Amino acid sequence: MKVLVTRPRGQAEEWVASLRGLGLDAEALPLIEIGPAPDAAAVARAWQQLSHTDLVVFVSPSAVEQFFAARPTGLSWPPATRVASPGPGTDRELARQGLPAAARVTPPADALLFDSEALWQLLRHEDWRGRSVLIVRGTSGRDWLAGRFTEAGAQVRFVSAYERRTPQLDAAGDALLRRAIERPRQHVWIFSSSESIEHLQALCEAAGLRPRWPEFLALATHPRIAAAARRAGIAGVMECTPAVADVVRSIQSLAP
């Protein structure tokens, strides 16, 4: 079976390289396109205010990539400002940007789930009264974590460092999509976002494709994503964590 990685382009290519290195037939079929921040001035202001911010939460690897890509010339990360992320991919991206391990908070590698709830369990025992928290995300997202910080007395603000869009597939991507639709039992989709499922539906509708959703095989890296896949009609959904080893084990369990 061919494994289809649906993350944004750069992340998908990294995953493909890892999966191929472990002997799997993997291809990138990005179902989310990352665009620039809708308000570049707001991102610049967020950088300028970092020295007065106690904690910055990055919701995804794309949030890290785009926020640091927009760093104003001459500004560096304040050593007293901590960072937090909901999972290993985002934490790795923060490490690539030079943030030391002592400044980073993320759920442990053996966590059952990587999400806002797991991250809050690591932070909830601190005194957040009067402290400043910045959440870096796309143009929208869940407000659950912001609600917990606010209830604990923190001052929370958001900045949109990027926007997510339905991708425009090139010829190779379109051909790969059509093969996957025609031969659903020969492909395994890895969904790391509910939005990627919505974009897949939109792409199929725009191309006049009629997927046999009940025949699809998919991995979902969170229960909410699995639920979205099932609502789309995909019956063969398996949940796993967004860790390469867990993904590989799950794919092997699906193989005939």
Give the pLDDT of residue 151.
Answer: 97
The token pair at 125 is 């025992």
Task: Name the CA dihedral angle for 144, 147, 152, 154, rounded to a multiple of 10 degrees.
Answer: 120
Tell me whether the CATH fold assigned to 2-32+166-254 matches the one assigned to 35-164: yes
Closest C-alpha among 58, 61, 60 to residue 81: 58
Give the pLDDT of residue 110.
Answer: 84
Buried b (16+ CB within 10 A) or exposed e, 37-73: beeeeebbebbeebeebbbbbbbbbbbbbbbbebeee
Predicted TM-score (pTM) of this structure: 0.87
What tens digit of pLDDT does each residue of 225-237 get? 999 999 999 988 9
Is residue 253 scored above 90 in pLDDT? Answer: no
What tens digit of pLDDT does each residue of 88-118 get? 999 999 999 999 999 999 999 888 888 999 9
The token pair at 127 is 């005194």
Domain residues of the chain, as ranges? 2-32+166-254, 35-164
Q: What is the mean pLDDT of residues 61-85?
A: 95
What tens digit of pLDDT does each residue of 162-217 get? 999 999 999 999 999 999 999 999 999 999 999 999 999 999 999 999 999 999 99
CATH architecture of 35-164: 3-Layer(aba) Sandwich (3.40)
**Rounded CA Rg of the chain:** 19
DSSP string of 12-80, one letter each residue: HHHHHHHHHHTT-EEEE----EEEE-S-HHHHHHHHHTGGG-SEEEE-SHHHHHHHHHTPPTT----TT
DSSP 86: S
Give the pLDDT of residue 98.
Answer: 95
DSSP string of 92-144, one letter each residue: HHHHHTT--GGGEE---TT-S--SHHHHHHHHTTS--TT-EEEEEESS----H
Q: Which fold has domain 2-32+166-254?
A: Rossmann fold (3.40.50)
HSE of 254, CA atoms in CB hemisphere, 13 A:
27
Lowest mean pLDDT among 3-7, 61-65, 249-253: 249-253
What tens digit of pLDDT does each residue of 171-180 get? 999 999 999 9
The whole-chain average pLDDT of the chain stands at: 94
Give the pLDDT of residue 256.
Answer: 63
Report yes or no: 254 and 234 within 8 Å, Cβ to Cβ.
Answer: no
